[in-house]
Amino acid sequence: MTSPGDAPPVKPPPSFSPGVPRVASKARYPDQRRDSSPALGSTSDLAGSRINTSPTPPLSATTADLPIRIASPHARSVRSITPQLTRSTLGSPLEGRFEGSEDIRSLIARAFSPVVAVYASADTDELVRQKGFKGGFWELIRPFGEDVHGKVVIRDIIGAGHGWEDYGVHFVDLGGVVQNRSPGQDSSPLAQVEEVLERQLNSADDPLVGSVQPNDVLGMPSTSSIYKFFLRQLLSASPVSSHETFRHPVACVIAISSRNTAPLESLRQLYADTSNGDKKMPPWVHSEFLRYYVLVHDEDRDDITESTKLYDQMKRHFGLHCHLLRLRSNQCVVTDDDSVRVPECEWLSPSEHLQGVGQTDGVPYLFDSDVMAIKTFVRELVAQSVIPFMENRVAVWNDQVASRRRGLSGRFMSLSRRWTGFGAGSRSSFAGSGSGGVSGNYDAVHGFYKPDTPEAILRKLADFAFMLRDWKLSASTYELVRSDYGNDKAWRYHAGAHEMCAVSMLLNPLAISGKTKLETVDQMLETACYSYLTRCSDATNGLRCLTLAIELLKSRGGSATESATRWAMRAMDIGLVGSIGQILFSERVSACYASKVGLGSGVWKQGSRRRKAGMWSVFAADLWLKNRKPALASASLEEAERLYADVLDTDGVFPMPEMQSFIDNLRHAIRVQYLGARGLDTDEYADDSTAPLETQATEETSEKLDKRSHRRSLMGIPNSTDPGSLNPPPVTRENETPSHDDFERA
């Protein structure tokens, strides 16, 4: 390696755009020094908080206990038995406005974390491959970015600081961003999501590995891990697109190693590749993103004194956005005293799951010193460079673009364009087009705005504010620009602005306090879905929009849960989800109805939807059975029995004989299918004088229910009235058993 002093002077590439101070971000954290690493937890914490070290319980410890649990005709007697198929393994579709609700909101917020591209030199990737990571430097640091150690403080547009414990970034390979397809995506990602779900459920391992323990707060268990897995896959399915900048890189990590013979020249060449070379961004991605330079020092083979000199020279050439990462090049094995298991990647996309990304020959391990060094590097990158850079850009764009649009000059320009056509030829003015005219900035042939146009900058400002979790600013910015997209007939932009405006309002805990605002959110969701599905044929983003609406409306509680059920039924009715998705959404409808708290006392409570929740759980159990998943069908049936037991004061016996027969036959069919799948003799449970059990449970009894319109309610077919606003049953006196006619009217 050449001496740093012999290296020729190199003109430092810009880290920020002109006019943006390069050192201003460091002054905001005077208490954090680069020579003092943040305090880290114990060795046991270094493996990551999402690793489940305890063995996952099997679906059933013995086959003898399962028929006892399923054969129990009463929900209350079921709860008195210690079952082998417990909710600690299978989870539950129910979750109230408690820990489960906050967990889903956190998952949604983390799905839209900033993207940091990684571009490493060949010598750096080779060093990391020696440690057992075939994907190179990006694969090594990727899982550590999903959960930044410690609290991350972010300042909103007015300067108020907010601390977040669950903040993270998504590390991506720069080549994958560059080679990704341009706008105009088809619905193939949804097929990949369904295929991944089928593989997960059909795998030899327990499909519910990593499921959370039940949350017994007021009898509202946590969301099933299957649904959380589906939600993560759906939120990871959308590729890089022009109409939103969530997957555009906010920063790029440029890395070289201490083995490099021409380090400064290599850094300059890597930077040139990201600006004008093979790694240049597509024309609809803004090239103004932060460059962060990393020197990877080989602790086992190189001299730290020489690496320190080189690192100081890097800071003089490229500014303070640099880091010296000290790693061992030897491979770590589990038998080493200081070995730590590498955390698993939470945000693998469906295509990566299908390609086997993340599947290694053995469990990857790192030395304890390596884990501490990587965590320190990631925290400094995020807290001292990425977050201040994003805050800086939000302030600049808000002052130069959004404020002018909101001000009097922007409104005057809007009226001038609409009524007189004044200024229609100006395409680069920050005043831009107003809410009433066509800007001419939209390239209809290629389907995108250029990154320097006001419409693109406003969308990027809103997305940055959303990723910084300043949802008030993001909602107002989306609302400011959404009409411009409609005027320009930029329908994918139009749909995305309406979708994220509604999501921002739902995530903001201080918004959506009245019925009028809830109706406004529903209208925005309706517009977004229409544009996605009808005008753009974009089923992936259409389903994402509906799924986000379901979860965030459900977390609001009250009348918002009725809207959540309607959107879930809409997704199933128009066929956006496959066979497994239909079951999962049926469970979510049940969860929405079950979370509706009724008023009053006695068996029937005004506004309660426990019976509807039970019926949708029965429907989910029936669908799980048809998909040959008896264990999951048993879980859904148990949930239905519990819900009905909370409503019917008859010790679990249904007043309507046809409904009781349907439940009994379904329970019997689940037991037989479960035993048959394990090669056990089921002759003693078969009834030769009747049709096959599954046919009896799903066809004959269903015809009886159709006569009374109960099957219609189970299938979610909309009636002439709103399915979520059916008249509640008559209120009865306390401890009074509802009559048969009461059940019929319900």
Q: Which residues contact 689 (CB under 8 A, 6 or more apart)?
A: none
pLDDT at 207: 46
pLDDT for the residue 358 = 63
Residue in the block written with tokens 């890089």: 240
- Residue 391 tokens, joined: 């805050």
Mean pLDDT highest for which of 52-56, 180-184, 399-403? Answer: 399-403
pLDDT given at position 489: 95
pLDDT of residue 369: 96
Q: Where are the alpha helices (DSSP H) in 648-739?
A: 657-677, 693-695, 701-707, 710-715
291 phi/psi in degrees, rounded to 5: -105, 130
Amino acid 437: pLDDT:
63
Q: What angle do CA 185, 451, 430 make, to 5 degrees?
A: 135
pLDDT exceeds 90 at position 425:
no
Rounded mean pLDDT, 224-237: 93
Secondary structure (DSSP) of 435-503: TTS--S-EETTTTEE-TTSHHHHHHHHHHHHHHTT-HHHHHHHHHHHHHHHHHTT-HHHHHHHHHHHHH
Kindly report the length of the chain: 746
Residue 717 pLDDT exceeds 50:
no
Greater pLDDT, 727 or 13? 13
Give the integer Cα–Cα distance in Å for 346 and 361.
19
Work out the burial of residue 558: count CB atoms within 10 Å of its CB; fewer than 13 is exposed, 13-18 middle, 19 or more buried. middle
pLDDT level of residue 66 (50, 70, 90 thresholds): very low
- For residue 720, pLDDT over 60 is answered with no
- Other CB atoms within 10 Å distance of the CB of residue 122: 13
Which pTM was predicted? Answer: 0.77
On the question of pLDDT at 88 being above 70, the answer is: no
Quote the longest CA-to-CA distance of the chain: 94
Angle between helices 188-202 and 539-556 (to 10 degrees): 60
Please tell me the predicted confidence (pLDDT) of residue 702. 43
Q: Please tell me which residue, 282 or 95, carries the higher pLDDT value.
A: 282
pLDDT-based confidence at residue 408 (cuts at 50, 70, 90): low
More confident residue, 85 or 600: 600
Is residue 582 within 8 A of residue 616, CB to CB? The reply is: no
pLDDT of 16 over the 80 cut = no
The pLDDT tens digits of the residues spanning 92-123 come to 333 333 345 678 999 999 999 999 999 999 99
Which of the four pLDDT bands, split at 50, 70 and 90, describes residue 126? very high
Section 653-678 average pLDDT? 88
DSSP conformational letter for 697 = I
Q: What is the mean pLDDT of residues 616-620?
A: 95
Least confident range from 159-168, 665-674, 735-744: namely 735-744
DSSP per-residue letters across 43-94: GGGTT-TT---SPPPPS-S-SSHHHHHHH---HHHHHHS--SS-HHHH-BS-
pLDDT at 277: 84
Helix locations, 95-136, DSSP H: 99-111, 122-129
User: Position 636: which residue type?
Assistant: S
Per-residue confidence (pLDDT) for residue 259, from 0 to 100: 94
Q: How far apart, in whole angstroms, are the C-alpha atoms of residue 606 and residue 600?
A: 6
Can you give the pLDDT at residue 85?
34
What gap in Å lies between CA 578 and CA 195, rounded to an integer? 9
Band of residue 550 on the pLDDT scale cut at 50, 70, 90: very high
- Answer yes or no: is pLDDT of 610 > 90: no
Enumerate residues 6+ apart whose C-beta is below 8 A from 187.
537, 538, 539, 540
Pinpoint the alpha helices (H) of 319-427. 350-355, 368-381, 387-397, 403-406, 408-419
pLDDT at position 607, please?
61
User: Do 608 and 598 contact (CB within 8 A), yes or no?
Assistant: yes
Contact 136, 119 (CB under 8 A): no
Mean pLDDT of the chain: 76
The answer to whether residues 261 and 6 touch, using CB atoms and an 8 Å cutoff, is no
Bridge partner list, 117: 172, 252
What's the rounded Cα separation, in Å, for the pair 406 and 414?
Answer: 11
Report the alpha-carbon distance of residue 433 to residue 419 in Å, rounded: 13
Q: Domain 107-183+247-349+356-408 class?
A: alpha beta
- Position 248 scores a pLDDT of 96
Provide the pLDDT for residue 443. 94
Confidence of residue 601 (pLDDT cuts 50, 70, 90): low
Tokens of 376: 């320190």
pLDDT at 36: 34
Per the model's pLDDT, the better-predicted residue between 224 and 230 turns out to be 230
Banded pLDDT at 692 (limits 50, 70, 90): very low
Q: What local confidence, expressed as pLDDT, does residue 606 receive? A: 61
DSSP 184-207: ---SHHHHHHHHHHHHHHHSSS-T
State the pLDDT confidence band at 585, using cuts at 50, 70 and 90: very high
Distances (CA, A) of 560 to 379, 549, 593, 688, 719: 38, 10, 11, 49, 20
- What does the pLDDT look like over 391-404, one tens digit per residue? 999 999 999 999 98
Q: Where are the domains of the chain?
A: 107-183+247-349+356-408
**Looking at residue 327, what DSSP letter applies?**
E
Residue 557 has a pLDDT of: 86
* Res 239: pLDDT: 87
pLDDT at 379: 97
Per-residue confidence (pLDDT) for residue 627, from 0 to 100: 94
**pLDDT of residue 616 exceeding 70:** yes
Given a contact cutoff of 8 angstroms between Cβ atoms, the answer to whether 246 and 504 are in contact is no
Q: Is residue 655 very low, low, confident or very high in pLDDT (cuts 50, 70, 90)?
A: confident
For residue 150, pLDDT over 70 is answered with yes
Residue 142 scores a pLDDT above 80: yes
**E strand intervals along 182-316:** 249-257, 290-298
Q: How do residues 433-492 score in pLDDT, each as one tens digit? A: 344 567 789 999 999 999 999 999 999 999 999 999 999 999 999 999 999 999 999 999
What single DSSP character describes residue 600?
S
Local confidence band at 223 (pLDDT 50, 70, 90 cut-offs): low
Q: Tell me the per-residue pLDDT of 317-365, one tens digit each, with 9 for 90 and over.
A: 999 999 999 999 999 999 998 999 999 999 999 999 998 876 656 678 9
* Encoded tokens for 553: 């409306």
Asked if residue 637 has pLDDT above 60, the reply is: yes
In the structure encoding, which two tokens stand for residue 111, read together? 């799905």
pLDDT at 93: 32
Q: Write out the two tokens for 350.
A: 């469906």
Q: Which of 307, 464, 315 is nearest to 386 (CA)?
A: 464
Q: In the prediction, which pLDDT does 99 show?
A: 41
Q: Are strands 322-327 and 290-298 parallel, antiparallel or unpaired?
A: parallel
pLDDT of amino acid 446: 93
DSSP reduced 3-state for 296: strand
pLDDT for residue 683: 66
Q: Tell whether the model's pLDDT for residue 155 goes beyond 70.
A: yes
